[in-house]
Amino acid sequence: MMHALYYFLLFASSLITFFLLFPFLTVLVSLLVREKKFQKSSEQKDFGIIITAYKNLLITRPLIESILEQGYDTFQIYLIADDCSAEQILTIPENPKLKICLPPKKLGSKVRSLIFGMSQTIRNHDAIIVMDADNLMHPDFLTVANNYMGAGYTAIQGKRVAKNLDSTTACLDATGELYFNYTQKLVPWILNSSANIAGSGMVIETELFKKYLSSPRIRENSEGLIIAEDKILQNFLVGNNIQIAFAKDALVYDEKISKSDQLVRQRSRWLRSYFENTQYSLQLILSGIERFSFNKFFFGIMTLSPPLFILIFSCAILFVINLLLFPPLSIMMFSGGGIFVLNFLWVLYLGNAPKAIWSNLYGIPAFITYQVLALFTMKKAGKDFLVTEQVKMVSLKELEVEREKNPVQQE
């Protein structure tokens, strides 16, 4: 009995230790590899930009303004006004580069909004860009994306950064984004694998995007609730031997969660999408081994890695159990956990985390508690479109002024 328990704990401890050390080892190796550089493309690609708005159309105005202020000419905006009132539509200024698309009935799904948006395009674009309603687009976004497409890449993920750092919760939400920008976007890209998809700010060749929307996982569930469209997209791309590039200079400002109840709703969706995606991550790993594809193999391991709070809890629980039953195994867990924490702080340093993030790290225990609560609402996330509230309606110029004048407010 004890032998069986020992081997079980050895396996569990080894698996968790592997995922604890994986980010550190990959970050270390990436620092030894020269990052890719691209020249400015002489040809302008034609971009179709789809903005998915749900109930709140007013929040899109700053985003539309930021797109229209791009130093780039060849694009068309498609604003999907799902379940938005006629009064809201009238508040959006008319522009020849903007088409407001009003669905005949409530869609209640980002995937259905994207499918509807593709049916509303006025011409055949070279690539499709997906933006969330609360985003802001950096003035150079389209130029940078064009350079990557000019270099031959057909799937590109921009870099999402925090639009607001106005509370402890928002700062910790931004901390996670910064950490994953580095470990799951920049690092795999440098190592010649693929960046993961963030849900917005991605640029996909049009024909490739159409194939994704007509793929079995989307087609078979298009009338139901799909909460992991970003993971389905990245699995579709990598599964078809497409490398997802990471354009770290193509910035997208994204609203971070400021309230704890909204955090629980968001994390419920994310946790459910993670567990639903594990089988597909395993398939990529096996396919990578079978076909000698480093891109598939590495990406599969990276996306199989558990959420950070699950890793931390697993490490702590295994450390205590091993300390009581098999002390040598507890040394492995302690070492793995220590390296993970130090690497987390190192990544924040390498990613140039702002002072607001460093000064709010004390809130991590409470932040983890909210994510534990999210575990108990995952079932609801599979039945209800748990949209998070978007309230930070600021322009790019206002954003710069706000950061200069207003320090982070503690909760």
Summarised one tens digit per residue, pLDDT across range 262-318 is: 888 888 888 989 999 999 999 999 999 999 999 999 999 999 999 999 999 999 999
Q: How confident is the model at residue 147 (pLDDT cuts 50, 70, 90)?
A: very high
* Sole residue written with tokens 């407001």: 100
Question: How much is the pLDDT for 199?
Answer: 87
Three-state DSSP at 312 gives helix
How far is Cα 107 from Cα 111, in angstroms, rounded to an integer? Answer: 9
Q: How far apart are the two ends of the chain, measured CA to CA in Å?
A: 49
Three-state DSSP at 246 gives strand
pLDDT at 260 over 90: no
How far is Cα 333 from Cα 120, in angstroms, rounded to an integer? Answer: 54
pLDDT at 37 over 50: yes
Global confidence as pTM:
0.92
pLDDT digits (tens, 9 = 90+) for 184-209: 999 999 999 999 999 899 999 999 99
| Strands of 136-137's sheet in order across | 98-101, 75-82, 47-54, 127-132, 202-205, 155-162, 245-254, 136-137
The token pair at 149 is 């497409």
Three-state DSSP at 241 gives coil
How far is Cα 186 from Cα 184, in angstroms, rounded to an integer? Answer: 6
How far is Cα 51 from Cα 393, in angstroms, rounded to an integer? Answer: 15
The token pair at 22 is 């994986």
**Residue 137 DSSP class:** E
The structural domains of the chain, with segments of one domain joined by +, span 47-283
Q: Give domain 47-283's CATH architecture.
A: Alpha-Beta Complex (3.90)
How far is Cα 61 from Cα 69, in angstroms, rounded to an integer? Answer: 12
* Sole residue written with tokens 């969330």: 132
Helices and strands (H, E) in the chain, number of each type: 18, 8
How far is Cα 243 from Cα 102, in angstroms, rounded to an integer? Answer: 34
Does residue 140 contact residue 69 with C-beta atoms inside 8 Å? no
Question: How much is the pLDDT for 410?
Answer: 42
Three-state DSSP at 202 gives strand
Radius of gyration (C-alpha) of the chain in whole angstroms: 22
Interior/surface letters 154-190, b for 16+ CB within 10 angstroms, e for the rest: bbbbbbbbbbbbbbbbbbbbbbbbbbbbbbbbbbbbb
Looking at every residue in the chain, the average pLDDT score rounds to 91
The DSSP code sequence of 20-84 is HHHHHHHHHHHTTSPPP--PPPSS---EEEEEEEES--GGGHHHHHHHHTSS---EEEEEEEET-
Of residues 393 and 332, more confidence is placed in 332
pLDDT digits (tens, 9 = 90+) for 83-135: 998 889 888 999 999 999 999 999 988 999 999 999 999 999 999 999 999 99
